[in-house]
């Protein structure tokens, strides 16, 4: 099995906390000794200002987050966020969406569009997920998130893939069950790029077409398994559908087979919302507002964590090709929402 840890994240109360990096390194060493490849190490702080994280930004390749903010708190630090090179956050809109909240995204699009990658709106978010920008502090400790499509090892059989996931979860649990800092495993399926690390690649291998799989129960079966067999669940534990990070999903988007409606349909029964979804610079603010209001109402109605991360290169309009210059995002021709 190709055991890849997408995110090893330590949650700390404040940036001045001593020994955080040393403790993170201990966990990293244990994982590597047991055959895991740790892709990214991350720190998420509680009640930290964005400016307070400045000294930590030099600690490349550590990814940083200030977690979940209210719209008001974020606006008070808006300029700091735009100038910060390596800080993610999410803005909580669980209790309603107004036009002023859309203005936040529009300002980022105009002033620092690359920062859309590190920003999300969240609705009834769950704490302690190691995945950014949704990560939110609840208590000190560390959480682990896998790049689980790689565990399929090329098999077309769902049962074999799910069994491999469970084997890894149990192994991780045994490694850290006696560690009082171990918060748990976010079993979310987090795809990236293409081939064996792409969820859509596995789906197409099994069903021939992504569109065909959408109206089967395969995604529900996957998320049911995530919720029932994880020995220590934490965070989101759902199906991630990052439109431009899963390069084969990006190709479905360009072909018109991953519309915002299809994204929402999958998110409602198995997914976690809208993720790295392209938005044109000429997109109408009212349309973005409609989608965010629907997400908020769906999240409230079903008591389900959802999020929205729209991305833009700050140039491409609808019908034009993006130029993100971001290795994690595939360039596409932007479609209307």
- Report domain extents, the chain: 4-311
Sorted by sequence, the CB contacts under 8 Å of residue 20 that are 6+ apart come out as: 10, 12, 43
Sorted by sequence, the CB contacts under 8 Å of residue 5 that are 6+ apart come out as: 31, 36, 37, 38, 39, 144, 145, 146, 147
Between CA 125 and CA 300 the distance in angstroms is 11
**pLDDT, average across residues 215-227:** 94
Answer whether 34's CB lies under 8 Å from 12's CB: no
Q: What is the pLDDT of residue 41?
A: 95
Percent of the chain with pLDDT over 70: 99
Q: What is the pLDDT of residues 153-186, one digit of tens each?
A: 777 789 999 999 999 999 999 999 999 999 999 9
Q: What is the pLDDT of residue 268?
A: 92
Q: 3-class DSSP state for residue 306?
A: strand
Q: Residue 135, CB half-sphere, CA atoms under 13 Å: how many?
A: 32
pTM above 0.85, yes or no: yes
Between CA 273 and CA 267 the distance in angstroms is 5
For 203-213, letters b (16+ CB in 10 Å) and e give: bbebeeebbeb
Which CATH fold would you assign to the domain 4-311? Anaerobic Ribonucleotide-triphosphate Reductase Large Chain (3.20.70)
Q: What is the pLDDT of residues 106-157, one digit of tens each?
A: 999 999 999 999 999 999 999 999 999 999 999 999 999 999 999 987 777 8
Residue 17 has pLDDT above 90, yes or no: no
Positive or negative CA dihedral for 72, 73, 76, 79?
A: negative
Sorted by sequence, the CB contacts under 8 Å of residue 202 that are 6+ apart come out as: 149, 152, 161, 196
Mean model confidence pLDDT for the chain: 94
Sorted by sequence, the CB contacts under 8 Å of residue 255 that are 6+ apart come out as: none
Give the burial class of 104: count Cβ atoms within 10 A of its Cβ; 0-12 exposed, 13-18 middle, 19 or more buried: middle
Quickly tell me which residue has 């300029």 as its tokens: 79
194-199 own/partner pairs: CB under 8 Å, 24+ apart: 194/246, 194/247, 194/248, 196/2, 196/149, 196/150, 196/152, 196/153, 196/154, 197/4, 197/147, 197/149, 197/150, 198/149, 198/246, 198/247, 198/248, 198/249, 199/149, 199/239, 199/240, 199/241, 199/246, 199/249
Q: What is the pLDDT of residue 1?
A: 66
Q: Quickly list H helices, the chain.
A: 20-33, 71-76, 78-83, 99-111, 158-176, 199-207, 210-214, 218-229, 247-254, 260-269, 285-302
């Amino acid at each position: 099995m190709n055991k890849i840890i997408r995110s090893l994240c330590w949650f700390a109360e404040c940036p001045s906390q001593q020994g955080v990096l040393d403790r993170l390194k201990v966990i990293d060493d244990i994982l590597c000794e047991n055959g895991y490849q740790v892709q990214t190490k991350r720190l998420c702080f509680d009640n930290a200002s964005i400016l307070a994280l400045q000294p930590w930004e030099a600690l490349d390749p550590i990814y940083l987050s200030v977690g979940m903010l209210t719209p008001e708190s974020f606006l008070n630090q808006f300029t700091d966020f735009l100038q910060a090179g390596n800080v993610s956050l999410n803005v909580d809109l669980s209790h309603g969406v107004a036009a002023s909240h859309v203005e936040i995204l529009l300002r980022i699009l105009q002033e620092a569009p690359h920062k859309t990658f590190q920003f999300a709106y969240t609705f009834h978010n769950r704490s302690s997920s190691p995945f950014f920008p949704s990560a939110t502090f609840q208590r000190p400790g560390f959480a682990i998130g896998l790049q689980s499509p790689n565990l399929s090892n090329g098999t077309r059989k769902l049962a074999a893939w799910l069994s491999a996931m469970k084997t890894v979860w149990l192994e991780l649990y045994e490694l850290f069950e006696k560690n009082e800092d171990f918060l748990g495993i976010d079993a979310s399926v987090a795809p990236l790029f293409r081939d064996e690390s792409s969820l859509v690649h596995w789906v197409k291998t099994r069903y021939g077409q992504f569109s065909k799989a959408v109206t089967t129960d395969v995604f529900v079966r996957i998320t049911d398994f995530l919720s029932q067999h994880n020995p220590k669940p934490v965070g989101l534990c759902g199906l991630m559908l990052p439109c431009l990070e899963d390069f084969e999903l990006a190709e479905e988007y360009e072909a018109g087979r991953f519309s915002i409606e299809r994204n929402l349909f999958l998110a409602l029964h198995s997914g976690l919302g809208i993720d790295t979804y392209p938005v044109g610079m000429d997109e109408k603010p009212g349309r973005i507002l409609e989608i965010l209001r629907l997400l908020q109402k769906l999240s409230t109605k079903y008591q389900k964590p959802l999020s929205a991360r729209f991305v833009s290169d700050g140039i491409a309009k609808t019908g034009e090709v993006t130029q993100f210059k971001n290795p994690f995002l595939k360039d596409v021709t932007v479609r209307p929402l």
